[in-house]
Homo-oligomer: A and B are copies of this chain.
Amino acid sequence: MDESIFSDPAFPADQPSPGQSRYGWLAASLRARITQGEWVPGTALPAEAALAKEHGVALGTLRQALALLVAQGLLVRQHGRGTFVREGLGGASMLRFFRFATEDGAPGTPQSHILGRQLRLASADEADGLGLPAGASVLQLQRLRSLQGQPCLLEHIVLPLPLFEALAQSDLAAWDDLLYPMYQRVCGATIHRAEDSLGFGLLTAEQASLLRLDAGHPCAQVDRRAFDLAGRCVELRTTLGDAFAFRYTAHVR
Contact = CB atoms under 8 A, between A and B. Distances in A.
Interface of A: 1, 67, 73, 89, 93, 192-201, 218, 220, 224, 243-244, 246-253
B243 A195 contact: no
Contacts of A89: 252-253
Nearest to A249: B197
B1 A196 contact: no
Given A1-B67, A193-B252, A250-B250, A244 B93 contact: no
Please give the count of copies of this chain that the complex contains.
2
A247 to B, nearest CB: 5
19 contacts: A73-B253, A193-B251, A193-B252, A193-B253, A194-B252, A195-B251, A196-B250, A196-B251, A197-B247, A197-B249, A197-B250, A198-B250, A199-B246, A199-B248, A200-B243, A200-B244, A200-B246, A201-B244, A218-B243
A249 B195 CA distance: 7
A235 to B, nearest CB: 12
A247 B197 CA distance: 7
A201 B200 CA distance: 11
Contacts of A196: 249-252
B250 A195 contact: yes
Given A192-B253, A195-B252, A200-B220, 18 more contacts: A1-B67, A193-B253, A194-B251, A195-B249, A195-B251, A196-B251, A197-B248, A198-B198, A198-B247, A198-B248, A198-B249, A198-B250, A199-B247, A201-B244, A218-B243, A243-B243, A248-B250, A250-B250
